[in-house]
Structure 1
Amino acid sequence: MKNIVILISGSGSNMQAIVEAARVQRWAEKQGAQVVAVFSNRPDATGLAWARTQGLAAQSLDHKAFDSREAFDHALMQAIDAFDPALVVLAGFMRILTPGFVAHYAGRMVNIHPSLLPAFAGLNTHARAIEAGCKFAGATVHEVTAELDHGAILAQAVVPVLPDDTPEVLAARVLTQEHRIYPQAIAEKIAALRSR
């Protein structure tokens, strides 16, 4: 069985979409894959409570309790590795990861970013897209590399930018597409890992 571990920092709406897709699409039976654990760097992340209601191991590891980024990443890596993950999924995990952490999960860690990469890496993507006069925005699922919001693109979804959009309105439109493409991209990634 291929174990999937999800990392969140907040409500975990993408995590919820993935867990629900795994159940509805019967990943355990059809893909030999299952979501087993959810971790957050924030003890108050509301997504942890939801994950527990789904029978998942859900733990917080407060990054503020560590002296350095490296110390936090090392502790997180140990906690994740206890679940023998085939795939580590960043779902609104708002931490820049150290090169050592990224190298440890090379080829088996994915992220979703709310822009059409390579455009608008980093933060404030929706405001930046509106300010730039973009006619389209969207979301990108990509493999994680040491360079922020780079790595092989696994899936993208496009939405229109409308004349009266605010960053919040555009974000909500993009999020509906994130919930659609992220589970699909993960299922395809798991299938690729199984065929190796």
Structure 2
Amino acid sequence: MKLAIFASGSGSNAEAIIQSIKVGELDAEAALIICDKPHAKVFERAERLGIPCVLFQPKTYSSKQKYEEEIISLLRREQIDFIVLAGYMRLIGSTMLGEYEGKIVNIHPSLLPAFPGLDAIGQAFDAKVKETGVTIHYVDEGMDTGPIVAQETVSIDYNETRETLTKKIQQVEHRLYPKTLQKIFSERKVGGETNE
């Protein structure tokens, strides 16, 4: 299974996935990282990990469709089977969804459907809920609305800060995402869906 990882920020989930591949826990190949922010820290991680990281800036395209078409042409050249969103901070449009239907997953730092969208950790913290968590789901045209594949709860302690909560959630993300991807890919192999 040949993966493209999409990231907009520091790339810690991207690194967790790539490290899982390197140690043999995730049976896949991370072919490249796609990033939409020129100064994102993921570029440094990608260089250190030896994975090509390609910048696509939406503002330089006349439309979302053109932006996604350009990305798709690279994904086709690289023969990408599956897209993994790892902190990619923009909605996937119909062009990409049409090309990779049922082959795009996302990770979100809450127990969806609670706290969708931006700053889910902050939303949960401000709502003073007792628990939040991590969700891995397939991507559809909505905001964090696709079919859920896996969830794990994270408790919010009475003395929790945003920083400590963020750390707890990231620890779960870095373990749960590679494990869930392996489950998805194993099931696809059994079902004969892979194009390897």
Q: TM-score, normalised by structure 2?
A: 0.91
The amino acid across from 2:70 in the alignment is A
Distance 1:26 1:116, change over 3 A: closer
Question: What value does the CA root-mean-square deviation take over the aligned residues?
Answer: 1.5
Counterpart of 1:10?
Answer: 9
1:37-67 deviations in Å (ceiling 9; x for gaps): 1110112222123223323222111222112
Tell whether 2:83 aligns with 1:84.
no
1:89-125 deviations in Å (ceiling 9; x for gaps): 0001111121221222111110000000111111121
- Of residues 64-73 and 173-182 in structure 1, the stretch that sits farther from structure 2 once superposed is 64-73
Counterpart of 1:40?
Answer: 35
Counterpart of 1:165?
Answer: 160
Tell whether 2:184 aligns with 1:189.
yes
The amino acid across from 2:94 in the alignment is P
- 8 A Cα contact 1:61 1:76, kept in partner: yes
Partner SS, residue 173 of structure 1 = helix
CA separation in 1, counterparts of 2:47 and 2:126? 40
Tell whether 2:100 aligns with 1:100.
no
CA separation in 1, counterparts of 2:81 and 2:130? 38
- Of residues 58-67 and 6-15 in structure 1, the stretch that sits farther from structure 2 once superposed is 58-67
Q: TM-score, normalised by structure 1?
A: 0.91
Q: Which runs of 5+ in 1 are unaligned?
A: none
Counterpart of 1:118?
Answer: 113
Partner SS, residue 133 of structure 1 = coil
Moved over 3 A (4+): none
Partner SS, residue 139 of structure 1 = strand
Counterpart of 1:141?
Answer: 136
Q: Which runs of 5+ in 2 are unaligned?
A: 192-196
- 8 A Cα contact 1:39 1:48, kept in partner: no
CA separation in 1, counterparts of 2:48 and 2:127? 42
1:176 Cα deviation from its structure 2 partner: 0.8
CA separation in 1, counterparts of 2:171 and 2:114? 20
Partner SS, residue 117 of structure 2 = coil
1:26 Cα deviation from its structure 2 partner: 5.4
1:139 Cα deviation from its structure 2 partner: 0.7
